[in-house]
Structure 1
Amino acid sequence: MAWTEYNYLFAISLIGAFIDAYGIGANDVANSFATSVSSRSLTFRQAMLAAAICEFAGAVAVGARVTSTIKNGIIDLDEFNGDAAVLFLGFTCVIIGSCTWLTIATRNAMPVSTTHTVVGAIIGVGIALHGHGGSVKWGWNGVGQIFASWGIAPAVAGCLAAITFLITKYLVLRSSSPVKMGLIASPVYFFIVAGVLTTSIIVKGSPSLNLDELPPNVTAGAVVGTAAVVSILSLIFWLPWVYCQVAPEDAVTADSAVPDYYAGHREDDHVPASINNADDVEASNRRQQSEHDEDRESSKDGNDEKLAMDKDRPVTDEPTVEKSKLQMLEAKLSQPDRTTGPDGRPVPPNYRTFDGSWIEPWNLYTTLRYNALPWAWYTVSAGLRTDIHKLQMNGSDKEVARLKAIHKHSAHYDNKAEHLFSFLQVLTACTASFAHGANDVSNAVGPLSVVYSVWSTQLFPSSTEPTPIWILVFGGAAIVIGLGTYGWKLMSVLGNRLTLHSPSRGFSMEFGASITVVLASYLGLPVSTTQSITGATIAVSLCDGGRATNWKGVLWIFFSWVLTLPIAGLISGLTFAVVLNAPRWSV
């Protein structure tokens, strides 16, 4: 029977849990896919689609069917003295504190750990309940591991990512024939990557299937067997296909399937930051068009004689046709992108102006038709239309110059060899996303599961509570919406903003972070995927020297981590303390 007396608390928890999951999608998931987008292994829309499918499938198909009531054992249920109503209020405040800090952090482009956000909110409630010495477990089995993970996770992930990149660098990228060596080594890479990712799924990403309870010999057989199958499939299907793209001499043409992974990161590729508004862009375009017209007029007289000699040439001459196609393609590519501004964000709608107040009857139609509806569509769709690469390189003249100097100190390797690692990076990113959806969706819906259990039964919960499927769907959908509409915000301060990204670098970063998560799961350490990928990014950048790293951006990320626990704890703790100890009206 529902506890109707506290319907308002359940409603608040439901709204807060949606905002929490939305923030996880916009912050944590966007953080995970920033390397794939920044290296051009995936376009932004492809990353959003892959993340939406993997996160939602992981959350709903194999997401945690049983949620720990007190995450990571930070406080003890006995501290609530069996009072279900107080526990109900406490977890409502946990949701409020978590979603509030995640919203603030995401709005200010602060990459934070959503796991530590929830833990911080629980710590706040525990302190408000019985003081700092009564409820919270500050030792190694509690909060101590959280603080230790700030150094352990980045350090371990960084070492593993650096080892992976250095092996790749000297074995493939700097060899005399990088494409040939890449093709030879690829099946081995697929075998190792598939083995690690399968292990990651077993120990982290399938809590409802209890795969982590399999006997060691069965687990080893499953890992080796899956890795062998993936490697064999890559030999049969992937290797011949990618060989046709990278091996022939004419593989890189105007319409090639091999992207330029270093486009926009050469010295002559950066747009001056002084062109910072639409008028400047338009003026620049007019100036370029004027120069083009002058060049065309000056060459017109010299071309008249040539045109007269060629007037009898058949118009179907193949070289001429091919040249014309290339010229048309170059002209199309050289035109400025009018759908996004210089900062990479889509151009906002042209809102209508009117006289008087918007609420006046004669202005309501204008407000709704030409302002409100275009604003709503822009808010929903602008995220997917953002140019992440342009956004990451946007800033003041001084900031752009600093980013150019950082990228200048990062080596550029064979583009075709880089292409081979883009597939490995996509495989790593999608598998990690699936595991993230299965495991970390509990950060958003875990407290909601406890609130729902108490609200629907009016009973004090046990140490673990079942998670209804509708709550997993609810959380998975909110994660996808947050990623698609606001994920661009976090990607703007990551990726190429920290160091130059390419498929080989991005693959090494994500692979190092995946191995760290596997090791931490076996050792029982609560590491964060956010902190793991950050440490891996810094370590790979150091392989190009310290001047290839944006240390200012790194300090901003670490500053965000430090603020997470205390601020989330303050919000939830103060809310809980004020409501719990407020004067009551006695009847």
Structure 2
Amino acid sequence: MITPQNTTNRGNAPRSGRKQTLDKDLEKITSVEYASRNVSRRLAAPGAAFLFLVAVTIFSAVSLIGQPALVVAVAASVLAAYMAMNIGANDVTNNIGAAVGAKAFSLGLGLAIAAVCEVAGALIAGSPVVDTIANGILNVEMMASTAHFIWAMMAALLAAAIWINVATWIGAPISTTHAIVGGVSGAGIAAAGFGAVNWGVIAGITVSWIVSPLMGACVAIAMLAFIKRFIIYTPDKIAAARRWVPVLIGLMFGAFSAYLSIKLVPEPFVPDLPRAMLFGLLVAIAGWLISIPLVRRQSEGLENRNQSLRHLFRIPLIFSAALLSFAHGANDVANAVGPLAAIIESLNGAKLGSNQVVPAWELLIGGLGISFGLLLFGPKLINLVGKQITKLNPMRAYCVALSAAVTVIIASGIGTPVSSTHIAIGAVFGVGLYREWYIRHSRHRQDYLRMRAEDQQIGEIHEANSAETRRRYLVRRSHLLTIVAAWTVTVPVSAALAGVLASIMFRLFI
């Protein structure tokens, strides 16, 4: 005879089994949903990039209605947009990476500032600098035909974009200018031999491999040494900040003003170095006078500690990121738009090597492409530049940003072409290595810490912490080899790839 209890147990057993089976099935479904969600996130950026290229195809086709060889012109526009996205993903990180790493502003705000300023720089001041890429690297009179020139530029765009894409994927910030110069050179050699290349430009680039990172590091170290000596390691940090931060802000605005006047003013109005320096000095004085009451107001109620100093450097960093992005959009948009402009001019029957006005739609494609690339793929290298090489605070990030403008001015005075990428990375490594040296060898810092320890009666604890601190490395050396290797091979790799692609295109289309 079966008791009611046994009946209940028998009845519950199947229900319990069904519940366990249902739970397992639900867990499997949940796991699939999580996996699908992760895959969707990974595909979101490439999908958005593809939609942007589709939009560029439609936009360029509408803009080029009636254009001879419309398909070739649209294909060149799409390649330029692809190149511009890779520039944004790799190169723009130098403008905001230090400030984001220093937590002066969020990654989202940094991306927004850079995106807007990149487009503005490309549209407002991008036209004058396109000509060098379009006409300054190759001796175009040696080209066998216009068709050879057009397909050489197409190959250069594609090769440079592919190499920058690979460098971004492996996490190596490179000079996109070097990539397109290498691409144009390799394609030109494939079209007309070694005599087609202006080897003086290549020699200048080779020199800049060594000069620009060293100059960037030296300028950043000099600024950081000044800040440590006269602001950070002083008894009254706030009073020192009120005295010197307005000077540094004025110096920043003056340096950027001179930088922009040298790099962005169109021919034949480009000022010589003394005039640019005079203009920068006037702006520096104005910036210093304006910032004195602002810094005084900001510093009211702040405690006498380093965290307060970080607060005072946030606004200068925001301005520096915006100015660097504007200048970058005006200059490096040429790396994408220069070959495009040369192709469109050639299709319209213009003489090879002639200077033509760059249409606004071409600059818009370059500016938007740079911004989209930054927004979709830039955070990876922003974290590398801003956080993974060495720890940055607003003061150190300010030194990195300022070194870019000052170094370009110095290089312009001595006639040396430089790369903003190499300057920024050199400055980041320079700041980190200088901090290591300063912690171990600076008597001024040791005297200051000893005085603080005596005042607070923590001498023994301080000595132990100081010994531990001196043994620490503040720069990740592992990134140095990857970055230097990528710098070294950029021109030859992009040149070789462009040469191969150009040879294939010549056989297929000419």
Q: TM-score, normalised by structure 1?
A: 0.66
Instruction: Give how far 1:4 is off.
Output: 6.3
1:74 maps to 137
1:542 maps to 433
1:147 maps to 206
1:387 maps to none
2:481 maps to 555
Instruction: Give how far 1:499 is off.
Output: 0.7
1:446 maps to 338
Q: Is 1:129 aligned to residue 55 of structure 2?
A: no
1:31 maps to 94
* Matching residue's letter, 2:71: Y
- For structure 1, the residue ranges without an aligned partner over 5 or more in a row are 250-412
Instruction: Give how far 1:164 is off.
Output: 0.7
Distance 1:439 1:210 in 2: 17
Q: Deviations along 1:183-217, whole A, 9 cap, x unmatched?
A: 2212211222221111011011x244865237945
* Matching residue's letter, 1:162: I
Q: Is 1:56 aligned to residue 113 of structure 2?
A: no
Report SS of the residue matched to 2:130: strand
Please point out which of 418, 421, 429 is paired with 2:313: 421
2:152 maps to 90
Distance 1:197 1:31 in 2: 16
Instruction: Give how far 1:458 is off.
Output: 2.9
Instruction: Give how far 1:568 is off.
Output: 1.3
Compared CA separation, residues 484 and 159, structure 1 to 2 (3 A): same
Distance 2:77 2:254 in 1: 39
Instruction: Give how far 1:18 is off.
Output: 0.4
Report SS of the residue matched to 1:462: coil
* Matching residue's letter, 1:164: M
Alpha carbons 1:74, 1:122 under 8 Å: kept? yes
Please point out which of 495, 498, 501 is paired with 1:575: 501
2:239 maps to 180
1:407 maps to none
Q: Is 1:246 aligned to residue 308 of structure 2?
A: no
Alpha carbons 1:23, 1:103 under 8 Å: kept? yes
Distance 1:519 1:212 in 2: 16
Alpha carbons 1:13, 1:96 under 8 Å: kept? no
Report SS of the residue matched to 2:195: coil
Report SS of the residue matched to 2:179: helix
- For structure 2, the residue ranges without an aligned partner over 5 or more in a row are 1-63, 438-472
* Matching residue's letter, 1:437: G
Compared CA separation, residues 434 and 209, structure 1 to 2 (3 A): farther
* Matching residue's letter, 2:152: G
Compared CA separation, residues 100 and 445, structure 1 to 2 (3 A): same
Please point out which of 108, 114, 131 is paired with 1:45: 108
Alpha carbons 2:295, 2:312 under 8 Å: kept? no
Q: Deviations along 1:487-511, whole A, 9 cap, x unmatched?
A: 1121232222001111111111111
Instruction: Give how far 1:582 is off.
Output: 5.1
Q: Is 1:106 aligned to residue 164 of structure 2?
A: no
Report SS of the residue matched to 2:356: strand
1:491 maps to 382
Instruction: Give how far 1:66 is off.
Output: 6.3
* Matching residue's letter, 2:414: L
Compared CA separation, residues 527 and 449, structure 1 to 2 (3 A): same
Distance 1:216 1:173 in 2: 33
Alpha carbons 1:66, 1:466 under 8 Å: kept? no
Instruction: Give how far 1:444 is off.
Output: 1.0
Alpha carbons 2:190, 2:503 under 8 Å: kept? yes
Distance 1:70 1:476 in 2: 16
Alpha carbons 1:63, 1:207 under 8 Å: kept? no
* Matching residue's letter, 1:504: M
1:222 maps to 279
Distance 1:422 1:142 in 2: 38
Distance 1:472 1:171 in 2: 44
Distance 2:248 2:350 in 1: 52
2:455 maps to none
Instruction: Give how far 1:574 is off.
Output: 0.6
Alpha carbons 1:424, 1:507 under 8 Å: kept? yes
Q: Deviations along 1:147-184, whole A, 9 cap, x unmatched?
A: 11111001111111101101111111111122221122
Q: TM-score, normalised by structure 2?
A: 0.76
Report SS of the residue matched to 2:79: helix
2:221 maps to 162
Distance 2:338 2:344 in 1: 10
1:212 maps to 270
Report SS of the residue matched to 2:105: coil
Distance 2:162 2:285 in 1: 46
Q: Is 1:233 aligned to residue 290 of structure 2?
A: yes
* Matching residue's letter, 1:575: L
Distance 2:359 2:137 in 1: 24
Alpha carbons 2:143, 2:196 under 8 Å: kept? no
Structure with greater helix share of residues: 2
Alpha carbons 1:67, 1:464 under 8 Å: kept? no
Distance 2:260 2:67 in 1: 40
Higher RCO (C-alpha 8 Å, min separation 6): 1
Please point out which of 418, 428, 431 is paired with 2:323: 431
1:461 maps to 352
Instruction: Give how far 1:414 is off.
Output: 1.3
Alpha carbons 1:2, 1:458 under 8 Å: kept? no
2:443 maps to none
For 1:187-336, list aligned pairs within 5 A.
187-204=246-263, 206-208=264-266, 212-213=270-271, 216-217=274-275, 219-236=276-293, 238-244=294-300, 246-247=302-303
Instruction: Give how far 1:70 is off.
Output: 4.7
Compared CA separation, residues 548 and 72, structure 1 to 2 (3 A): farther
Instruction: Give how far 1:429 is off.
Output: 2.1
Distance 1:3 1:417 in 2: 59
Q: Is 1:118 aligned to residue 189 of structure 2?
A: no
Distance 2:67 2:432 in 1: 56
Q: Is 1:514 aligned to residue 416 of structure 2?
A: no
Alpha carbons 2:216, 2:427 under 8 Å: kept? yes
Report SS of the residue matched to 2:181: helix
2:492 maps to 566
Instruction: Give how far 1:535 is off.
Output: 0.8
% identical aligned pairs: 27
Q: How many residues align?
A: 412
Alpha carbons 2:187, 2:495 under 8 Å: kept? yes
Instruction: Give how far 1:142 is off.
Output: 2.3
Compared CA separation, residues 23 and 96, structure 1 to 2 (3 A): same
> After the TM superposition, which parts of structure 1 deviate over 4 Å for at least 4 consecutive aligned residues?
1-5, 69-72, 214-217
Instruction: Give how far 1:9 is off.
Output: 2.3
Alpha carbons 1:123, 1:136 under 8 Å: kept? yes
Alpha carbons 1:26, 1:479 under 8 Å: kept? yes
Alpha carbons 1:173, 1:414 under 8 Å: kept? yes
Distance 1:553 1:102 in 2: 17
Report SS of the residue matched to 1:466: coil
Alpha carbons 1:77, 1:463 under 8 Å: kept? no
